[in-house]
């Protein structure tokens, strides 16, 4: 009996020791873990929202700048169109003025053909003969106007010849150059200096293909050839004029001349 008690005590002690020796599982706070994940996700969402907001503000700013640039471009386009229109009006007016001047010069030269040479060559009241002279410091427009005025206003056809020559030398690329060469040729033609006149008309025909004076120059070249009794050349030039400028006034003048050859 006493032995049994001893054995029971030993077993009880061993059992208790075994239970106490078993390691306990770690305790996890589920609520604490979920809170940490939720907080991290919220921070990430907040960062994304801030980035999206910043990007949206940048886009709005860029769009405003683009709208402002577009407005400025439209304003500049309007100003450019206005200036282009005004420039076009000025050029049209200038073209009309010089067409009128050319018409008056042509009429004056035609009239001069019937004036006695003693009158046409009279320089007794010209600026040069009275000692006044002309300034050599001239702009392109002034130089051309002065040469024209010698024909239109002063009727100083002899003086106009060196003036047109000086203009052509000083301003070879001038928009008035084809007219200046043509009128110089016309003045020389009226004087009977056909060789030099032909050279001036040739300059217009060969170097200024877009000039409105080219058909007139072709007509005068044909007339020079006709005066030189070179009917074959005159015929060829009249035909060229009729082919290239069939509706021009010069072509209408050339037709009866060609028919007479």
Mean pLDDT for the chain?
75
Q: Percent of the chain, pLDDT > 70? A: 65
Phi and psi, residue 64, nearest 5°: -60, -40
**Highest mean pLDDT of the ranges 7-16, 137-146, 220-229:** 220-229
User: What span, in angstroms and rounded, lies between the C-alpha atoms of 59 and 75?
Assistant: 24
Helix (H) or strand (E) holding 203: helix 194-207
Tell me the mean pLDDT in the region 92-117: 54
The single residue listed with the structure tokens 């001239």 is 138
Residue 200 confidence (pLDDT):
96
Residue 253 confidence (pLDDT):
93
Residue 96 confidence (pLDDT):
57
Tell me the mean pLDDT in the region 209-215: 92
Q: Percent of the chain, pLDDT > 90? A: 37
Considering just the CA atoms, what is the radius of gyration of the chain in Å? 51
Are 217 and 185 in contact, with CB atoms under 8 Å apart? yes
User: What span, in angstroms and rounded, lies between the C-alpha atoms of 255 and 258?
Assistant: 5
pTM above 0.85, yes or no: no
Residue 48 confidence (pLDDT):
86
Residues 6+ away with beta carbon under 8 Å from 156: 123, 126, 150
Tell me the mean pLDDT in the region 30-43: 62
Are 251 and 242 in contact, with CB atoms under 8 Å apart? yes
């Amino acid at each position: 009996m006493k032995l049994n008690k001893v054995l029971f005590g030993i077993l009880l002690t061993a059992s208790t020791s075994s239970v106490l020796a078993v390691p306990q599982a770690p305790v996890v706070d589920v609520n604490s873990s979920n809170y940490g994940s939720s907080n991290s996700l919220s921070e990430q969402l907040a960062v994304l929202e801030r980035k999206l907001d910043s990007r949206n503000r940048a886009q709005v700013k860029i769009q405003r700048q683009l709208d402002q640039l577009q407005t400025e471009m439209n304003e500049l386009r309007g100003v450019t169109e206005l200036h282009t229109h005004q420039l076009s009006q000025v050029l049209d007016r200038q073209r009309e003025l010089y067409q009128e001047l050319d018409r008056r010069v042509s009429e004056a030269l035609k009239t001069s053909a019937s004036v006695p040479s003693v009158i046409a060559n009279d320089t007794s009241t010209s600026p040069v003969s009275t000692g006044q002279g002309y300034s050599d410091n001239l702009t392109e427009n002034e130089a051309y106007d002065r040469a024209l005025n010698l024909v239109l206003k002063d009727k100083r056809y002899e003086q106009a010849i060196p003036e047109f020559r000086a203009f052509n030398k000083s301003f070879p690329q001038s928009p008035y150059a084809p007219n200046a060469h043509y009128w110089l040729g016309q003045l020389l033609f009226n004087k009977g200096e056909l060789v030099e006149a032909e050279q001036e008309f040739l300059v217009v025909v060969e170097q200024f293909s877009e000039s409105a004076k080219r058909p007139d120059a072709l007509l005068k070249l044909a007339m020079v050839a006709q005066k030189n009794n070179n009917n074959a050349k005159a015929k060829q030039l009249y035909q060229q004029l009729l082919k290239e400028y069939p509706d021009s006034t010069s072509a209408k003048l050339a037709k009866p001349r060609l028919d007479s050859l």
